[in-house]
Chain A
Amino acid sequence: MMRLNNLSARYNILTGYVNAVDNVSFEVMDNEIFGIAGESGCGKSTLLKVMYDLVSYPLEISDGSVEIGGKDSSGKAVILKTGEIKKSWWRNISYIPQGAMHVMNPVTKVDTQFYDAISKQNCNFNKKALRQEIINYLHELELPASVISAYPHQLSGGMKQRVIIALATFLNPGIVLADEPTTALDVVVQRGILTMLSRVQRKMKNSMVIVSHDMGVHYQITNRLGIMYAGQMIEIGPTEEIFSTPRHPYTQMLINALPRIGDLNQKEGIPGTPPSLKNPPPGCRFAARCPKATDLCRVKQPEVFQINDRHQASCHLLYDL
């Protein structure tokens, strides 16, 4: 499990700070897939990096904390904080960055990439036995056995991504973070990858956090969903509920922007662009693009409103109900 407490993170650039993540708090439970949705530039990738403890100049945590539950080398349950999480990579938590398949080492075969990753965690392992384990695992993920002795360029994009997912989940970490795991892959392969991810999760009963700008993806495989806008988490709740009764105007617009086959009504994307994260506006950050914005919205930031014990959103309009 993972908990974020009032987390804020920013980029220290020469001309000031870009507040990429602003006061984000939520929990990811055991045995669930948590989705993070939002447009490009809303801060979701940064959030994931901070969760993974991949914080280095110019990115810095300005407030709050991240805690994850894991196991130490003896198998005892521990809580790890930022700084300690780093030492537990691959074992308690793993991360699939955006475009991971493009940065596979082009001059080593797939088996070597596995050995490299695993050797960081335990120094003595029997190569032969390990190789067989890897082949078995790849088979479970419906990858042909020949993949293990292939170079990355011999594999298609979808296969590379599956190999990356295999790498990330091989040591059965409690938390898997995936940043846009299917972007740039075609729909059929995307479907295969996503179903594979949920199958892996169901088997290992761990927690997954999936970042994607595509709401359709979230509908298909996530249990709970968080919507980010301009660095803030503006709605969090069970996926079904968010899609059936979205509360925040931005969420509503996101869902409406998806084209649906058979529905020939002219679809519109969301007009306008998100605000600058260097000098965010004083009130609600979505006010400038919101069709329901009031004067209060432009001046005061909304507080978190609990719709029920699992669903919350940050919008002034909810208070009027």
Chain B
Amino acid sequence: MADYMLEIKNLTRRFKIGGMILGKSILAVDDVSISLPKDKTWIMSVVGESGSGKTTLARMILKLLEPSSGKIFIDGIPLSYYSKKDHRKEFYKKVQPIFQNPFSTFSMRKTVDTYLYETALNLDIARTRDEATEHIRDILHSVGLEFEQVTGKYPNQFSGGELQRISIARALITKPALIIADEPVAMIDASLRMNIVNLFKKLRNEFNVNFVYVTHDLSTAYYVSDFIATMYRGNLIEFGPAKELLSRPSHPYTELLLDSIPKVGVKWDREIILPDIETKEYSAKGCKFAARCQYAKDVCHKNSPPVTTLEEGHKILCFKYCGYKI
């Protein structure tokens, strides 16, 4: 039996951009290692700006993208095992996605229940259409929808929030071990986000599903996560239990993220430096955040920071926490 539910080891992904001759190679994901336990179900948020590599990471776990190097293990089994055609179905039963835009998750030309039935029948959850209907009815109920509301309708007949719930329902049909949600509430009104995010919590408890919640919104992440992983330009700059991360002093970038949430009651006071053109930042020497960091010293601009472990399971990639020494 494996010790970890999800194990990511030295995962790296390179992209070539620009032309064949003058193109640059950027490390979208650079040597990321994360281990998540098996004994309890968890929700891990992967937090970062756009361009941080969080979506690339999510797509690699979903096997929609191949890593340049490194390995991913789900419940002890390497993802390469599922590359074989016969094992593909097993994979889809274990891992399911939720995408950012509910309106592009479904084809406008099919009714949404078609997808629900297909998932149930293709992935051996039900043998007949009637069996599938029962199953689907229950799942829809768990996400707060009634079967009658959903059946026979096309995607454009639903609101964004409802459609996202249907997307979640579809992902739940196989009772997967792992659901990867890529910015699932980014396109939903701020006032309705908590509904969806609370749903994740409920499903984690009721269905024993682990969630990887990719987002740039730290406030919802804090509500719902057991673990938080922060990424910046491909590096995993901080990882640990959620409470730890937010109550103890944390990476200057996490501080910036926290501070930038438009809070009611506190106005932004400090001017911040916005990111530069991507290729420049990716190919910068030293700590990639140094150019925007208010605590940066000389060593930060010249060398890559080492991993420092603060407390139990809380690790950070920053010179500030190891005395600015290499």
* Any A–B CB pair closer than 8 Å: yes
Enumerate chain A interface residues (CB-CB to B < 8 A): 39-41, 142, 144, 146-147, 150, 154-159, 162, 183-192, 194-195, 213-217, 219-220, 243, 253-255, 257-261, 264, 266-270, 273
Instruction: Determine if A220 and B277 form an interchain contact, defined as CB atoms under 8 angstroms apart.
Output: no
Interface presence of B194 (CB below 8 A): yes
* A267 and B223 in contact, given A220-B267, A243-B264 (Cβ under 8 angstroms): yes
Listed by A's residue number, 18 A-B pairs whose Cβ atoms lie within 8 Å are: A40-B159, A156-B51, A156-B275, A157-B50, A162-B274, A183-B187, A184-B187, A186-B49, A186-B217, A187-B262, A188-B272, A191-B268, A214-B190, A220-B262, A260-B219, A260-B263, A267-B194, A268-B195
Name the CB-closest residue of A to B197. Answer: A259
Q: How many A-B residue pairs have CB under 8 A?
A: 135
Partner among A194, A258, A267, A270 whose Cβ is within 8 Å of the Cβ of B264: A258
Query: Do B216 and A144 have beta carbons less than 8 Å apart?
Result: no
* Residues of chain B in range 261-305 having any CB-CB distance to chain A below 8 Å: 261-265, 267-268, 271-278
B71 on interface, CB distance cutoff 8 Å: no
Q: Please give, as numbers and ranges, the residues of chain A lying within 8 Å of B217 by CB-CB distance.
A: 186-187
Contacts of B48 in A (CB 8 A): 186
In the complex, chain B residues whose CB is within 8 Å of the CB of A186: 48-50, 216-217
Interface locus among B107-115, B252-260, B309-317: B252-260
The answer to whether residues A213 and B274 also contact, given A187-B216, A261-B218 and a CB cut-off of 8 A, is no
Q: Are B268 and A213 in contact (CB under 8 A)?
A: no
| Partner pick for A188 among B159, B189, B260, B263, CB 8 A cutoff | B260
Given known contacts A186-B216, A189-B275, A273-B159, A216 and B246 CB-to-CB distance under 8 angstroms: no
**A220 CA to B262 CA in the complex, in Å?**
7
Kindly identify which residue among A40, A159, A187, A194 contacts B277, using a CB–CB cutoff of 8 Å. A159
Complex CA–CA separation, A183 to B220 (angstroms): 16
Contacting pair A261 B246 (CB below 8 A) = yes
Q: Which residue of B lies closest to A259 (CB)?
A: B219
Give 8 nearest A-B pairs by CB, closest first. A216-B262, A186-B216, A269-B195, A257-B191, A192-B274, A214-B190, A191-B260, A259-B219
Query: How far in angstroms is the closest Cβ of chain B from A11?
Result: 16
Write out the residue numbers on chain B whose beta carbons fall within 8 Å of the beta carbon of A155: 277
Complex CA distance for A188 and B271, rounded to whole angstroms: 11
In contact, B261 and A257 (Cβ under 8 angstroms): no
Task: Please give the number of chain B residues whose Cβ is less than 8 angstroms from any Cβ of chain A in the complex.
Answer: 43
Closest to B17 in A: A154
Decide: A217 and B262 in contact? CB cutoff 8 A: yes
Whether A187 contacts B261 by the Cβ 8 Å rule is yes
Chain B interface, >50% SS class: loop
- Chain B residue with the shortest CB-CB distance to A143: B274
Q: Is the CB of A156 within 8 A of B277?
A: yes
Which residue of chain B is the closest to A253 with respect to CB atoms? Answer: B191
The CA of A40 and the CA of B263, in the complex, are separated in Å by 21
Q: Tell me, in angstroms, the Cα distance from A41 to B161 when the chains sit together.
A: 13
| A156 and B194 contact, Cβ closer than 8 Å, known pairs A187-B216, A191-B268, A216-B261 | no
Chain A neighbourhood of B223, CB < 8 A: 259, 264, 267
Q: How far is the CB of B288 from chain A (nearest CB, A)?
A: 14
B227 to chain A, nearest CB (A): 17
Q: Which residues of B contact A41 (CB under 8 A)?
A: 159
Closest B-chain residue to A271, C-beta based? B195
How many whole Å from B132's CB to the nearest CB in chain A? 28
Q: Which of B215-261 contact A (CB under 8 A)?
A: 216-220, 222-223, 246, 256-258, 260-261
CA of A147 to CA of B275 in the docked complex: distance in angstroms? 13
Judged by a CB distance under 8 angstroms, whether B34 is at the interface is no
Closest to B18 in A: A154
- Verify B189–A40 contact, CB threshold 8 A: yes
**What are the residues of chain A within 8 A of B94 when measuring CB–CB?**
none
Alpha-carbon distance between A257 and B191 when the two chains are bound, in angstroms: 5
- B177-206 CB contact bits vs A (8 Å, 1 = yes)? 000000000110111111100100000000
Contact of B160 with A by CB under 8 A? yes
> Residue among B219, B220, B262 with the most chain A CB within 10 A?
B262
Chain A residues near B216 (CB-CB < 8 A): 186-188
Assess the A187–B257 pair: CB atoms within 8 A. Answer: yes
Not counting A39-B191, A191-B260, a sample of 10 additional A-B residue pairs whose C-beta atoms are within 8 angstroms of each other reads A144-B277, A156-B275, A156-B277, A187-B216, A188-B272, A188-B275, A189-B49, A259-B223, A261-B218, A261-B263
Across the interface, do A189 and B274 meet the contact criterion of CB distance under 8 Å?
Answer: yes
Query: Cβ of B160 and Cβ of A40 under 8 Å apart?
Result: yes
